[in-house]
Each structure stands twice: as structure tokens, then as C-alpha cells.
Structure 1
Amino acid sequence: MLDCGSAGANELADTVAKVKPSIVGIGTYQHTRTPPAVFRGTGFVVTDGLHVLTNAHVLPATVDPAKFESLAVFAADGKGQNARQAAVVAVDPDHDTALLRIGGTPLPALRFGDGGKVREGEEYAFTGFPIGVVLGLYPVTHRGIVSAISPIAIPQLNAKSLDPKMVHRLTTPYEIFQLDATAYPGNSGSPLYSIKTGEVVGILNKVFVQESKENLLERPSGISYAIPIKYAVDLIAK
């Protein structure tokens, strides 16, 4: 008799093995600094293997080229972390997505799925760096169900609860995926993907969404969120 649990675990294990080479760290690099690399979040390789998607809020506000500081993508090459200089190609602040370009040899790219077909109750996985690179450049995988598909911001009963960011998101609404798996700030920019195919249906987002959904909570919950991938696909198309 087939053990369905084992079959599902093997399926995820096979998919994770294919996804991990496409997961990268995002940060800055300055060889005169100690440590030279500063980690800010996660990204994943797309299209031709020389482009990387991440959250816009993961990008540093400024980079100081006068001090030889640069935006960087950190990829594992089997010998440790390999820092590649990166350039910002495009940013969509409304959907908190950013597209970067890197140099060097192309890396394995992930394929896009159809985020519009995601259903509540379906199980997905995400891979990234939940506590940065404290334990080394080793991507960590979590899985969980899509517990809800809900608006980016929830209307408030009291106008005093509104701030300019929330007002903007209420006037330009779109739906996001709510997950029952716990993500951490370092997971921002991680791909949310199908356990069966590895196709990406969303981008994990901890800060941007949480400040809209949970700003009234004294203690933010362990709920995680993802931006549907269609907005990143639109950004690439533009």
C-alpha cells in the first residue's frame, strides 16, 4: 500500500532540491567593512538566469559607491557565498516588488505559475533565509496552506487608525495570499511555489503587508503573507 504521507514528503523533497539553487540573498557589499556583506532579505532567480525578483522594501534606501559599497546578490557556489554586484532594473512600490540584474554566469531560474488559480486550502512551500545568513548561506524551506485570499488592507471602523500608507492601499486594493506558516523578516522576497511543480505563485512579504493587515494588533501574529506573482510578471513585461 502506498503511504500518501511519504509520497507527499518525497514530492516536496524533490521540488526543494530543484528550487534551492535559484534562491539568493539580497544585501550590500563593501570590502572595507567588517563584515563586508550585509544581508537584507531573500530573492530568487528568474527569466534568463541573470535577473532576480525580491521585495522592494528589501532594497537599501541608499548605497555609497564613494566608499565602494554596492547592491549585491549572494549565491551559494559550493565553496561558500559568492557575492555578485547587482543593479536595479525596475521597482513597483504599490506591490512591493523589485527586479534586479546580476552579472556572471546565469543561475538556474524558477518558472512562474498561475497565481490566479491559487485556492484557499491548497498547500504551498517557500524557501529563503528566515534569520538571514547567521547560519550560513543555506536556504530554509517551510510549507503551509493558503488560509485566506484577502485584500491588502482592511477598512477600519475608526479614521484615527488610518495612516497615509493604508489610505493609499485602500484606494488601490488588490488581494494577497494569507498563509498559516510562519515567516520572518529575512524571508521577505522568498518565492511561494507549488509543491508539485516548483512554479512560483507568489512572493513572501512580511513587513509591507503586515503593517496594513495587523497595524492595530499590539502583538503581531505569526500569520504570513505573499503578493501574487502576476504583479512581478507585469513588472518584468514592462
Structure 2
Amino acid sequence: MKLLKLLFFLLFVVSVQAQKLSDLYKKVNSSVVVIEIISVGTESNGSNRQLVKESSQGSGVLISEDGKIWTAAHVVQSAEVVSVEFVDGDIYEATIVSSNPQADVALLQIKNNFQLKNKKVATIGDSDKTLIGEDVFVLGAPHGFKQSLSRGIISGRYVPDHRSNDFVKIEFLQTDAAINPGNSGGPMFNMKGEVIGIASRIYSASGGFSGIGFAVSSNIAQKLLSEEENIWTGMEGLLITGNVAKALNVPQESGLLVLSTATQGAASKLGLQGGYVPAVIDGVELLLGGDVILQIAGIPFTDDNSGYLIKKKLKEFKKGEKISISILRHGKIGTAEFYKQ
């Protein structure tokens, strides 16, 4: 008899939890969008370079009634055209308002006349109150499967130790909820239906999901996208050092290799050029042929903290003041200049 009661109790608990999750899904899924990206890359054809159209996909979440959307920076960083699709079938074009590649968060704004209709704006939760072991679920479009749900727990918290104390320490929530290509930028919800993170990346030896995924915490996303000033550079870059820097004849220990640029981004408007020749050097996959940024405003790129030091330095400039950038292009050092807006 006791065994029957125990089995009944366990079945009841599982049924209640499953019902709760299905109810939560119906409550929040109208806030989740599929993001379609069109970008333009370059490839080498002998001695010539040609432009090629590229498409990719990610996810995002609606955070305001006027059409603001959170997503991952790497999803839209070099995008030419961004469109978002809601579960009700509405599709809108969006612009990139700001991004922070280090934290991997970006803010989009839907163009033209956005109509909320029956869509629900997501509720942003306090990620600081999220506990390790707490149940969570992730919504997105892994491998193009729209509105796909995966569930898991908070496995840990990760704060990269190379961040400067002068700036916000970026926090990632570790989870075993499945995160795959297409999930990037999608929301991680707690069991109250609140967004507590934005799906960012996975740790994997095989390239597929192996139970270790990371989401940028909602408090960090809120601070960086609402309280801090972040411009959209429209550039994907890779910090190169060691043997990679030596192979590219970088005249200092490290530099920022420009991989790609979007025509409407700040980097392209400065005349910076991306790469077009795929290569692997010392185990690092990259595109060769692009500029290597050596320093900005006199601050050299030496490590992952350099971007923060440069950002701090730029705050010292007044509006209209000229700022110089030192670049290495085809073996020669040159400069580019821009004015602080």
C-alpha cells in the first residue's frame, strides 16, 4: 500500500510539473522570435575577390511594447539585413541599436509600424536571485526548428577572470538545457516565466551540445544594453597573439584581426576591411586578408581587456575630437581617423 501511495505521489508530481511547463510555454512563446540574417562576405577567386551573400539564423526575445528585442551579439554583429519572425507569423525588419561582443548581447529595434496584437512582452527577472540547481528552460530555433523548448537546471555561474575591475564583470549562467546553433540569442526562462539569461555559447570538444551551455545573465544584459553606451561596430574581430600574430607579421605581441564588416556599421564607414581567405594557424580558424587593428586612441590591443581600456579612454574625448586608429594592412602600417559623436 505504501508503495502504491509513493508511486501515485510521484506520478502526480511529474504531471503537475509537466503541466506547469506547458502552461509557461504558452505564456511566454509569443515573445520569442526567430531572427533571419543576411550578410555579405568575400571570398578569393584566384587573384580576385568577390562578394558572396550569406544567410544565418538565431533567436531573440521581445522586451518592450515598441519592438525592442534582445539577442546575442554574434548573431547580428556583421549583418546587412535583419528580420524577425513571431510565432503568429508576423515578420518585421529590424535595425541593430547597440551591441557588446564581449558580453555577447545586442539590442534590436523593429522598423516601421510594429503591432503588438496578442504578442506578450517578456518579463525580465533578477538573475542575481537565480540559484544553482534551479530549473530553467530555453526557447529558440535550434537548427531551424522554430519555437523549440529545452529544459534543464542552472549548473553554475561563470565570470571570466580577465575582466577589468574598472568595468562591469560579465556573468554567464551555465546550464545543461540543450543549446544548439539557432538557439543563440534566445531567452532562458526561470519557472516563473521570467527571462534570466540570453543563450550565448556552448563548451564542446565535438562541436555539438555536450551538456555545457552558457547564457549571459539578464542583469548584465539589462545593464549593458540599457544603462551603458554601446555602439554597433558592425565588425567581427579576433584577438590574435603568439604564433598567429607572428605568422601575420604583426609588429607587436597582439592585434585585433578584422574578420568581416557590415556596410552600415561603424567599422566599414571607417574603411576597415575584413578577410576573405579561410585558414587555420596554430589550431585557430580565421579569415586572412583583412586589417589588423594595432591600437585605438593610443591604447594597443594586448589582451581581452584591451577593449575595455579603449572604451574607457574614448570617454575622455570630447564630442568632435579626432581619434586615430593604427592598422596593419597587407604588411604596411597605416592610420584611420574618426570624430567622436
Would you say 1:7 and 2:24 are equivalent positions?
Answer: no
Which residue, 106, 131, 148 being the options, matches 2:143?
131
Aligned positions of 1:96-135 closer than 5 A: 96-103=104-111, 104-106=114-116, 107-132=119-144, 135=145
CA–CA separation in structure 1 for the residues paired with 2:150 and 2:30 = 16
Would you say 1:40 and 2:37 are equivalent positions?
Answer: no
Letter in 2 for 1:203: I
Would you say 1:184 and 2:163 are equivalent positions?
Answer: no
Would you say 1:219 and 2:206 are equivalent positions?
Answer: yes
Q: Gapped runs of 5+ residues in structure 1?
A: 31-35, 64-69, 154-166
Would you say 1:205 and 2:200 are equivalent positions?
Answer: yes
Q: 1:224 to 1:124 in 2, by over 3 A?
A: same
Residue 148 of structure 1 deviates from its aligned partner by: 1.2
SS of the counterpart of 2:193? coil
Would you say 1:72 and 2:61 are equivalent positions?
Answer: no
Q: Gapped runs of 5+ residues in structure 2?
A: 1-7, 40-52, 229-341
Partner of 2:278: none
Determine what percentage of the aligned residue pairs are the same residue: 29
Letter in 2 for 1:149: R
CA–CA separation in structure 1 for the residues paired with 2:164 and 2:147 = 32
Residue 105 of structure 1 deviates from its aligned partner by: 0.4
Would you say 1:236 and 2:226 are equivalent positions?
Answer: yes
Q: 1:99 to 1:179 in 2, by over 3 A?
A: same
Aligned residues: 198
Q: Deviations over 1:86-123 (max 9, x none)?
A: 01112122211111111420242100111001111111
Residue 146 of structure 1 deviates from its aligned partner by: 0.8
CA–CA separation in structure 1 for the residues paired with 2:14 and 2:54 = 40
Residue 237 of structure 1 deviates from its aligned partner by: 3.7
Letter in 1 for 2:68: H
CA–CA separation in structure 1 for the residues paired with 2:199 and 2:54 = 23
Residue 218 of structure 1 deviates from its aligned partner by: 4.3
CA–CA separation in structure 2 for the residues paired with 1:59 and 1:110 = 21
CA–CA separation in structure 2 for the residues paired with 1:111 and 1:7 = 23
Q: 1:219 to 1:29 in 2, by over 3 A?
A: closer
Letter in 1 for 2:124: F
Residue 181 of structure 1 deviates from its aligned partner by: 2.1
Q: 1:139 to 1:218 in 2, by over 3 A?
A: closer
Which residue, 92, 95, 98 being the options, matches 1:90?
98
Conserved 8 A contact 2:62-2:70: yes
SS of the counterpart of 1:186? coil
CA–CA separation in structure 2 for the residues paired with 1:37 and 1:57 = 15
Which residue, 47, 67, 73 being the options, matches 1:50?
67
Conserved 8 A contact 1:152-1:169: no
CA–CA separation in structure 2 for the residues paired with 1:142 and 1:97 = 21
| Superposed CA RMSD | 2.7
Letter in 1 for 2:126: D
Partner of 1:67: none
